[in-house]
């Protein structure tokens, strides 16, 4: 059953074999989403939180051309620290494997690997989507493509308003991806609880999500499911201030001609500077909050409550 070209940690292999709940975690968030040592601390905290909730964490990355499903402490440290770790989305995976290079997996490639590994639930911070001005730049994250073709449930805090959220919603609809709000009707916008847009459906609890996942499977849908969870109120950024920052940065990215896969890491870093670090705290808070929901969904799916 278990694919031999995937390198499972013994903890993850055992959990999958025994039908225990597992959640996938991405590594771009570690390598490029947070500065060192915040990133390694967060990576450890997330793994600890999952285990405490009775769920085995499977952090996914590419090391020396091998697909790792579950990382050792040394491997986590390497991803967090090394400058030789490429941001690896769908188009990068075959090349990194063949060239035996290192890669931090994005939402898209983590979904692909989670699917291959038989992991149904994947927790992250925010997904990529349709960028502002995409009608000129064509910049649409491969995360949306992955959501359309791997039946994995992604738990996130929505997408940042650096993206064009109405267009992102339209693409999700075209690709047949259910957009669910976890105990909320409004689509969260990462640092902000309410983007002003609505989700397709509000769901009350993990049990309801697990029911939807089962129906998605019965229907033989190839697409994933997007569960959005709002950031806890106490850690939300101030909306007006944040919108001002986004507008400034949208111009800045254009002027400096930051393009392609560098845009997201560039923006994250500039937002951190402009919010004097508060965005990092908010980001940590929302990921942990997403993980709580993701663990509950994974447990419901395995009937292990």
User: Should residue 143 be labelled a site residue for Mn ion when binding is judged by CB under 5 A?
Assistant: no
Which of the choices ligand PSU, Mn ion, none does residue 126 contact, using the CB cut-off of 5 to 8 A by kind? ligand PSU
Question: Which residues have CB under 8 Å from 236's CB, separation 6+?
Answer: 191, 192, 193, 282
User: Should residue 264 be labelled a site residue for ligand PSU when binding is judged by CB under 6 A?
Assistant: yes
Which of the choices Mn ion, ligand PSU, none does residue 63 contact, using the CB cut-off of 5 to 8 A by kind? none
User: Should residue 164 be labelled a site residue for Mn ion when binding is judged by CB under 5 A?
Assistant: no
User: Should residue 143 be labelled a site residue for ligand PSU when binding is judged by CB under 6 A?
Assistant: yes
User: From the CB of 260, what's the least distance to Mn ion, in Å?
Assistant: 6
Among the listed residues 200, 209, 193, 184, the one whose alpha carbon sits nearest the alpha carbon of residue 122: 209
Cα-trace Rg, the chain? 18
Among the listed residues 71, 84, 85, 13, the one whose alpha carbon sits nearest the alpha carbon of residue 43: 71
Residues 202-261 that bind Mn ion (CB under 5 A): none
What gap in Å lies between CA 206 and CA 148, rounded to an integer?
Answer: 22
User: Should residue 33 be labelled a site residue for ligand PSU when binding is judged by CB under 6 A?
Assistant: yes
- Of positions 22, 130, 142, 206, contacts ligand PSU by CB under 6 A: 142
Residues 3-32 that bind ligand PSU (CB under 6 A): 26, 28-29
What gap in Å lies between CA 47 and CA 55, rounded to an integer?
Answer: 9
∠ Cα 55 56 59 (to 5°)? 130
User: Should residue 107 be labelled a site residue for ligand PSU when binding is judged by CB under 6 A?
Assistant: yes
User: From the CB of 228, what's the least distance to Mn ion, in Å?
Assistant: 20
User: Should residue 92 be labelled a site residue for ligand PSU when binding is judged by CB under 6 A?
Assistant: no
User: From the CB of 22, what's the least distance to ligand PSU, in Å?
Assistant: 19
Number of other CB atoms surrounding residue 305 within 10 Å: 10
Q: Is 26 a catalytic residue?
A: yes
Q: Is 45 a catalytic residue?
A: no
Name all contacts of 197-201 with Cβ < 8 Å and 24+ positions apart.
197/165, 197/166, 197/169, 199/228, 200/173
Residue 16 vs 63, nearer CB to ligand PSU: 63
Please identify which of the residues 68, 87, 145, 160 carries the catalytic annotation: 160
Please identify which of the residues 26, 47, 75, 236 carries the catalytic annotation: 26
Residue 47 vs 139, nearer CB to Mn ion: 139
CB 186 within 8 A of CB 198: yes
User: From the CB of 29, what's the least distance to ligand PSU, in Å?
Assistant: 4
Which span sits near ligand PSU by CB under 6 A: 124-132, 181-189, 192-200, 201-209?
Answer: 124-132
Say how many residues touch ligand PSU, by CB under 6 A: 20
User: Should residue 139 be labelled a site residue for Mn ion when binding is judged by CB under 5 A?
Assistant: yes
Where do contacts with Mn ion occur on this chain (CB under 5 A)? 139
**Residues with catalytic function:** 26, 160
Where do contacts with ligand PSU occur on this chain (CB under 6 A)? 26, 28-29, 33, 89, 106-108, 125-128, 141-143, 160, 190, 261, 264, 268
């Amino acid at each position: 059953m278990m694919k031999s070209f995937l390198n499972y940690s013994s903890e993850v292999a055992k959990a999958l074999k025994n039908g225990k709940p597992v959640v996938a975690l991405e590594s771009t968030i570690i390598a490029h989403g947070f500065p060192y040592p915040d990133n390694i601390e967060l990576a450890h905290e997330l793994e600890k939180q999952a285990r405490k909730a009775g769920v085995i964490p499977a952090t996914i990355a590419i090391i020396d051309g091998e697909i790792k499903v579950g990382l050792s402490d040394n491997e986590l440290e390497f991803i967090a620290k090394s400058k030789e770790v490429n941001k690896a989305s769908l188009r990068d995976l075959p090349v990194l494997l063949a060239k035996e290079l290192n890669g931090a997996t994005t939402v898209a490639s983590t979904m692909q690997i989670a699917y291959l590994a038989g992991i149904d639930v994947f927790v992250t911070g925010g997904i990529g989507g349709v960028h502002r001005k995409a009608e000129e730049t064509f910049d649409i994250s491969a995360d949306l493509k992955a959501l359309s073709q791997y039946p994995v449930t992604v738990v996130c805090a929505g997408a940042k308003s650096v993206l064009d959220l109405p267009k992102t919603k339209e693409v999700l609809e075209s690709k047949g991806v259910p957009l669910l709000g976890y105990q909320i009707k409004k689509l969260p916008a990462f640092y902000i609880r309410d983007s002003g847009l609505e989700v397709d459906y509000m769901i009350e609890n993990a049990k309801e999500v697990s029911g939807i996942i089962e129906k998605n499977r019965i229907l033989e849908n190839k697409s994933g499911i997007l569960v959005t969870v709002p950031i806890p109120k106490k850690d939300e950024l101030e909306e007006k201030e944040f919108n001002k920052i986004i507008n400034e940065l949208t111009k800045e990215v254009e002027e400096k001609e930051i393009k392609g896969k560098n845009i997201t890491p560039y923006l994250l870093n500039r937002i951190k500077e402009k919010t004097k670090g508060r965005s990092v705290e908010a980001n940590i808070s929302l990921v942990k909050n997403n993980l709580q929901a993701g663990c509950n969904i994974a447990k419901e799916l395995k009937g292990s409550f």
